[in-house]
Amino acid sequence: MTKDWIETQIKKFLKKNKITSSVEITHPENLEFGDYTTNIALQISRILKENPINIAKKIVESIPKNKEIKEINIIKPGFINFYLHDDVLYENLLKVIVKKEKYGTFDEGRGKIAIVDYSSPNIAKRFNIGHLRSTIIGQSIYNLYKYLGWKVIGDNHLGDWGTQFGKMIVAIEKWADKPVNQLSVDELEKLYVKFHEEAEKDKSLDELARKKFKNLEEGEYQETKVWKTIVTTSLKNFQKIYNLLNVHINFAYGESFYQDKMDAVIEEIKSKNLAKKSKGALIVEFSDKNMPPGILIKSDGATTYLTRDLATIKFRREKWHPGMIIHEVGIDQTLYFKQVFKICEMLGWTDTKYIHVKHGLIRLKGGKMSTRKGRNIKLEQILEEAVKMAKKINPDKKIAEAVGIGAVKYNDLKRSPSSDYVFNWQEALNLEGNSGPYLQYTYVRTQSVLEKSKDSLSQSKSLNQSLNKDELYLTRMIQQFPNTIKQAGYKFSPNLLTNYLFKLAHQYNLFYQKYPILKSNKDTRKIRLVLTKATGQVIKNGLEILGIKTVSKM
Ligand code: ARG
């Protein structure tokens, strides 16, 4: 690749001049400035104490001729820009058409395994907006790493174990007005809220709940039966949402799976002298005093969310030997994951990289969409509403589903995961702005042009004329796709991909409005159809990574 060649030449220059510096070759932000750019001259001007423009000149002089590069120029304050020949660019476009859904894939991840821990709702509670974000963002990160060539494993770390189930069981036994298998998730959540209200007044309830959880841990028949029933009810409810979202997660071991695996991890922590008794509890202390100790076993003997996470990581490491474990979980668990990862480091589990991708809150105009106290707004309602609204764009059920759900997903993915945002229907469904429907619409446009043309583009081998400015810009835009995938993956930021797709679609639409495609002369028509096809393919690949379907009509 020309990009690698450029990098090698610059490295040669650095070596010859005994300079140690990394070299970054990127695509210029501004399409006028060519195909590749580097700020290396600026970077090293401080070391050399020389004017970056002069350095850039020396670098350019040192680069031998290359038949793919048309021009190299230097712009203030010292960037070096590279322009490829039109036929090289055109060949790159043809590659998009040949590679199809493989365009933008890499094999740099080959042989490596990444685990994505995402979605992870809690049993007997509603699937909330936070879990929605985790599902959507987690799935995109999963897909991005697949594109980068990793073997990716998705695991839904269901919240199906812990002392809260003792409380649930007490509440069901005391206040449920129907048999447990008839209680909906909503009703279960209400019972849970009631438990907390009642426990404020009656301290004995907590004691009772502890006993119930202990029974559950010991596998007592009655408690186990209630627990199993509410797990089944909740999973059915979650499945509805996964179906709407068209998400399938490889595994759902859940916290309860680690019941019999916690002793081993506690033993390991003890054997490495990392555990300490404190007021009847077993804890891990950190040298960083800003970090509160992590509790492995509470004074009442119950294990914790933390213990289960450590058991989970141990299990995953032994089973899959992952190079990386990515946890897509709310920003409110930032300190918690710092503790978890620190303990992993203390344990010497350092051949896995641990990542917490944090998501922020979504607010609806007039308040939060989710609170800890169970005042969640119903998620299915939002998704169903989205489909209903999309029916105004196209009444076909399948299309409206793809558009409506796609709009909700895109509207989330276009933000940096950690930012909070206010949910706004107009924005999500806007056919003109940075939205899912806008991209789907642009895709439909490309497909209808191609359909009308009926040209076979397979014999479009050579370019017989030069590209005009807008053709050139669109080509450059398309060419940025693979690198965008890399950046979005490395930075765990699907929003870099949405921003790119939006710019690409915008560039295509400008082009489409400005020039005839089917009515232009033979050679021009060929170029413009190839551009149209490549744009469509890139939009499709990009949307697929975001978990958004393309549609054939809109
Ligand atoms: N169930 C948890 C919650 O809703 C999220 C679990 C995230 N994953 C993890 N390995 N802790 O807050």
Q: What is the pLDDT of residue 313?
A: 98
d(CA 327, CA 213): 27
Cβ(117) – ligand 1 distance below 6 Å: yes
Q: Which residue, judged by its Cα, is nearest atom 4 of ligand 1?
A: 121
Edge-first strand listing for the sheet containing 367-368: 367-368, 362-364, 421-423
d(CA 476, CA 483): 12
Q: Which two tokens stand for residue 283?
A: 């804890």
- Return phi, psi of residue 237, to 5°: -65, -45
Q: What is the pLDDT of residue 371?
A: 39
Look up residue 450 and give its DSSP letter. Answer: H
Report CA(329)–ligand 1 centroid distance (Å): 6
Preceding peptide of 52 cis, ω within 30°? no
Sign of CA dihedral 289, 294, 298, 301: negative
- Rounded to the nearest 5 percent, the helix, strand and coil shares of the chain are 55, 10, 30
List the beta bridge partners of residue 80: 38, 74
Q: What is the pLDDT of residue 459?
A: 65
Closest ligand 1 atom to residue 336 Cα is 11
Closest ligand 1 atom to residue 159 Cα is 1
Q: Which two tokens stand for residue 91?
A: 């060949």
Task: Classify 78 in phi/psi space as left (phi over 0), alpha (psi -120 to 50) or beta.
Answer: left
Range in 268-282, 379-393, 515-529 the model is least confident about: 379-393
Residue 155 and residue 51 in one domain:
no
d(CA 411, CA 420): 12
Report CA(443)–ligand 1 centroid distance (Å): 36
d(CA 225, CA 165): 12
pLDDT band at 377 (very low <50, low <70, confident <90, very high): low
For residues 464-485, give the mean pLDDT.
Answer: 96
Residue 281 lies in a domain: no
Residue 265 and residue 126 in one domain:
yes
Q: What is the pLDDT of residue 460?
A: 65
- Return phi, psi of residue 285, to 5°: -100, 155
Residue 390 lies in a domain: no
For residues 228-245, give the mean pLDDT.
Answer: 96
- How many C-beta atoms surround the C-beta of residue 57 within 10 A? 15
pLDDT above 90 as % of the chain = 90
Q: Which residue, judged by its Cα, is nearest atom 6 of ligand 1?
A: 120
For residues 39-61, give the mean pLDDT.
Answer: 95
Q: What is the pLDDT of residue 369?
A: 46
Which residue matches tokens 């946890």? 327
- How many C-beta atoms surround the C-beta of residue 107 within 10 A? 9
Do the Cβ atoms of 264 and 314 come closer than 8 Å? yes
| CATH classification at residue 32 | 3.30.1360.70
Domain count across the chain: 3
> Which of 327, 333, 341, 358 is the best mutation target for the ligand 1 pocket, counting ligand atoms within 8 Å of the beta carbon and taking the most?
333
pLDDT band at 378 (very low <50, low <70, confident <90, very high): confident
3-state SS assignment for residue 26: strand
Cβ(159) – ligand 1 distance below 6 Å: yes
Residue 192 and residue 325 in one domain:
yes
Residue 160 and residue 245 in one domain:
yes
Residue 193 and residue 319 in one domain:
yes
Residue 79 lies in a domain: yes
Q: Which residues have C-beta within 8 Å of that of residue 4, sequence separation ≥ 6? A: none
Residue 507 lies in a domain: yes
Tell whether the model's pLDDT for residue 34 goes beyond 90. yes
In one-letter notation, the amino acid at residue 286 is F
d(CA 35, CA 547): 29
3-state SS assignment for residue 154: strand
Which of residues 343, 364, 385 is at a domain's end?
364
Report CA(328)–ligand 1 centroid distance (Å): 9
Label residue 508 exposed, middle or buried (CB < 10 Å: 0-12, 13-18, 19+): buried
| CATH classification at residue 446 | 1.10.730.10
Residue 134 and residue 250 in one domain:
yes
Residue-averaged pLDDT of the chain: 94
Tell whether the model's pLDDT for residue 365 goes beyond 50. yes
pLDDT in tens, 98-147: 999 999 999 999 999 999 999 999 999 999 889 999 999 999 999 999 99
Report CA(305)–ligand 1 centroid distance (Å): 9
- How many C-beta atoms surround the C-beta of residue 453 within 10 A? 17
| CATH classification at residue 190 | 3.40.50.620
d(CA 203, CA 206): 6
List the beta bridge partners of residue 200: none
3-state SS assignment for residue 18: coil
Label residue 436 exposed, middle or buried (CB < 10 Å: 0-12, 13-18, 19+): buried
Among 105, 110, 100, 103, smallest CA distance to 152 is for 110
Which of residues 84, 109, 131 is at a domain's end?
84
Range in 13-27, 76-90, 244-258, 377-391 the model is least confident about: 377-391
Residue 135 and residue 59 in one domain:
no
Residue 422 lies in a domain: no
Residue 69 and residue 138 in one domain:
no
Q: Which residue, judged by its Cα, is nearest atom 8 of ligand 1?
A: 157
Q: Which residue, judged by its Cα, is nearest atom 5 of ligand 1?
A: 120
Do the Cβ atoms of 532 and 517 come closer than 8 Å? yes
Residue 437 and residue 326 in one domain:
no
- Kindly report the three-state secondary structure assignment for every residue of 106-132: CCCCCCCEEEEECCCCECCCCCCHHHH
CA angle 468, 469, 475 (to 5 degrees): 90
Tell whether the model's pLDDT for residue 372 goes beyond 70. no
Range in 67-71, 303-307, 419-423 the model is least confident about: 419-423
Angstrom distances, CA of residue 554 to CA of 400, 403, 429, 536: 9, 9, 13, 15
Which residue matches tokens 């639409």? 509
More confident residue, 371 or 257: 257
Cβ(157) – ligand 1 distance below 6 Å: yes
Q: Which residues have C-beta within 8 Å of that of residue 393, sequence separation ≥ 6? A: 400, 403, 429, 431, 437, 554
Q: What is the pLDDT of residue 387?
A: 94
d(CA 257, CA 261): 8
Q: What is the pLDDT of residue 19?
A: 94
Residue 45 and residue 146 in one domain:
no
Tell whether the model's pLDDT for residue 375 goes beyond 80. no
Residue 128 and residue 79 in one domain:
no
> Which of 125, 135, 161, 329 is the best mutation target for the ligand 1 pocket, counting ligand atoms within 8 Å of the beta carbon and taking the most?
329
pLDDT in tens, 140-188: 999 999 999 999 999 999 999 999 999 999 999 999 999 999 999 999 9
Do the Cβ atoms of 412 and 133 come closer than 8 Å? yes
Report CA(306)–ligand 1 centroid distance (Å): 10
Domain region containing 448: 431-545
List the beta bridge partners of residue 328: 357
Which of residues 64, 84, 104 is at a domain's end?
84
Report CA(157)–ligand 1 centroid distance (Å): 6
For residues 410-437, give the mean pLDDT.
Answer: 92
Residue 207 lies in a domain: yes
Q: Which residues have C-beta within 8 Å of that of residue 94, sequence separation ≥ 6? A: 460, 461, 530
Residue 240 lies in a domain: yes
Q: What is the pLDDT of residue 1?
A: 83
For residues 269-291, give the mean pLDDT.
Answer: 97
Report CA(309)–ligand 1 centroid distance (Å): 9
Residue 352 lies in a domain: yes
Q: What is the pLDDT of residue 363?
A: 81
Residue 439 and residue 529 in one domain:
yes
Q: What is the pLDDT of residue 153?
A: 98
Residue 364: HSE in the Cβ half-sphere, 13 Å Cα cutoff: 11
Cβ(359) – ligand 1 distance below 6 Å: no
Range in 92-101, 374-383, 479-488 the model is least confident about: 374-383
